[in-house]
Amino acid sequence: MASFATTECFLPLQQSFLAPTHHRQGNGTSSTVVLLPRAAPAPHHSKSLSFSFSSQGTNSCIAVGRKDRSSFAQTAAVRYLMGSVTRTQGLRFAVVVARFNEIVTKQLLEGALGTFRNYSVKDEDIDVVWVPGSFEIGAVAERLGKSGKYHAILCIGAVIRGDTSHYDAVANSAASGVLSAGLNSGVPCIFGVLTCDDMDQALNRAGGKSGNKGAETALTAIEMASLFEHHLK
Ligand SMILES: Nc1c(NC[C@H](O)[C@H](O)[C@H](O)CO)[nH]c(=O)[nH]c1=O
Ligand SMILES: CC(=O)[C@@H](O)COP(=O)(O)O
């Protein structure tokens, strides 16, 4: 939010209401605050205006002073936008799941499908696409995103460290691939790929003592799908 000390310029009034009030400023001067209706026509003498900005909590106020000491102000409430996990009707999802380490990824997938069902996403609104490994997820996620058929793409995999640096290549490529898919397609692509040092870590996060990352990231997919569909169109 921009902040103004005193500026010789004119700010378009977004919203306000008629309520002349008097502000006593620190330097002993006072200004009359007249709140104008939304989209009020700009005063013709905008060149002679000065502005001061103050904010308390979520309300902000721009006091506009005129050289003749009268002024008006604008009060705006901060809007908070957030996806809703209870508004899932009509939302469609694709789940891209890697077959590599299937003992882990199938449990992640089950966790994800369980979350979708718990939040009233219909089975017919979910497509599951299997790919060989996590490296292949990004390209498929981007193709699915660009299809225009889905509100979010959930990407599931399990990258487990071996004896070489191949782990780093696959893990980093999977992460950048999912990120790029979301940015390039404009559809939220959610990173549900485990990157673990060993199989125990992976199984613990696929329904074991550390929970199920598939279930968790499915909830993220729902919230992001709702945010984009209900607030960012
Ligand atoms: N080692 C893991 C892989 N490796 C396979 C790659 O994902 C990819 O399919 C291959 O390099 C051909 O392009 N994939 C995983 O998902 N998890 C691993 O631990
Ligand atoms: C993440 C991998 O690609 C890894 O499982 C491969 O194992 P290694 O590094 O022993 O070849």
Ligand 2 pocket member 100 (CB < 6 A): no
Per DSSP, the three-state class of 114 is: helix
Q: How many CB atoms lie within 10 A of CB 171?
A: 20
164 Cα–ligand 2 center, Å: 6
Domains of the chain: 2-73 (no CATH), 93-230 (3.40.50.960)
pTM: 0.74
CA of 164, closest atom in ligand 2: 9
Reported ipTM: 0.98
Best probe residue, ligand 2, of 101, 105, 135, 166 (max atoms within 8 Å of C-beta) = 166
Is residue 167 lining ligand 2, measured as CB closer than 6 Å?
A: yes
Q: What does the pLDDT read at residue 39?
A: 40
Tell me if residue 45 is catalytic: no
Write out pLDDT tens, residues 142-195: 999 999 999 999 999 999 999 999 999 999 999 999 999 999 999 999 999 999
Distance of CA 169 to the CA centre of its chain: 28
The pair of structure tokens assigned to 69 is 């000491």
